Amino acid sequence: MRPVYITVLQEETGKRIKKLMDDKCLNVRDIQTACGFEAPQAVYKWINGQSLPSIENMVILSVVLETPIDGILVRSGDASFFVSRGKLCVFTSQRQTYARLKKPVCI
């Protein structure tokens, strides 16, 4: 097995968090409350691409946004696919967005 090199793209991940929040009609205050923060600065840093959530906060985001962690993170590297909710997701561009296939593909 060869090594897998992956980089989490902070700015793109922030944009994805914001889009997922918008899709669920959630605002910064909602995420702030769910994570137990007294102030919203950490959430703003995430959506502006200045920092990434801790693993604990990523789990909270995953639950609140009803999205697997892998669906929140935007990554680059040589991993070109992943399985989410029983469906194979394939990265479709350099920016590492993904498209769901109609049928799961067994590898």
Question: How many other CB atoms are found less than 10 A from the CB of residue 50?
Answer: 13
CATH entry, 7-73, from 3.50.50.60, 3.40.630.30, 1.10.260.40, 3.30.70.260: 1.10.260.40
> Residue 61: helix, strand or coil by DSSP?
helix
Q: What is the pLDDT of residues 65-94, one digit of tens each?
A: 999 999 999 987 644 555 666 666 655 544
Over the stretch 17-63, which tens digit does the pLDDT of each residue have? Answer: 999 999 999 999 999 999 999 999 999 999 999 999 999 999 999 99
Instruction: Give residue limits of the domains in the chain.
Output: 7-73
Residue 84: Cβ within 10 Å count: 15
Q: Is the pTM of this model over 0.85?
A: no
Whole-number pLDDT of residue 76:
79
